[in-house]
Copies of this chain bind each other. A is one copy, B any other.
Amino acid sequence: MADLILTTFDWVPETPRGFVRDLRVRWALEEAGWSYRVESVPFRARDAEHFSHQPFGQVPWLTDGDISIFESGAILLHLAERSDVLMPDDPRARSEVIEWLFAALNSVEMASLPWSLYRFTGDTEETPGREMLDKFLDTRLQHLEAVLAGREWLAGAFSVADILMADVLRLVERFDGLANYPACRGYVARATVRPSFVKAHSDQMAHFAAAD
């Protein structure tokens, strides 16, 4: 691989530490065994250069030679296309990994992130809209539970799809949202004991702690 540079914030508040999305990229890079450099952009003052790489003012982005990529899903797919540790070559197996990669982001995280944002605010009021969102997540988790009860990883061997899905579920677990889903909890536990996750997580924590 060419020179890989992962860009993240220089600092974030305590709460999101361990959950900033550069973790997904670090994790994938560790699994693939590729070296990379980490660069930082200011969390507080996001300039035009930042928006030219990440139009929503978020992180991370990855530069791979002359290509700069934002969106953790796009970055992981880019890496996976270059590593059979992250995604197999066989067309059918590859297609399975890709559908689960999208499912993590668009079927599960689309329900779980709003749910988590609610918990971040400490809002406890029961309104029809909120009940709808709670039910949205519960339904998705019920179906995912049925899938994970029968398999170790989403698409055969461990893949980028598992990096995304496990990272999405970690944030639900943080707010106790997996209490009724033992197969989901077991899956998160299996994923997060992997040495690549442990290293990625501890590197992220150290990166933000260094800026305190």
Contacts and interface: CB of A to CB of B under 8 A. Distances in A.
B107 A132 contact: no
B120 A56 contact: no
Interface stretch (A32-40, A62-70, A180-188, A204-212): A62-70
A55 B103 contact: yes
Interface in A106-128: 106-107, 109-110, 113-114, 117-118, 120-123, 125, 127-128
A160 interface: no
Interface residues of A, number: 51
A58 interface: yes
B106 A91 contact: no
Interface in A76-100: 77-78, 91-92, 95, 98-99
Contacts of A55: 103, 143-144, 146-147
Interface in A129-152: 129-133, 136, 139-140, 143-144, 146-147
A44 to B, nearest CB: 16
B103 A102 contact: no
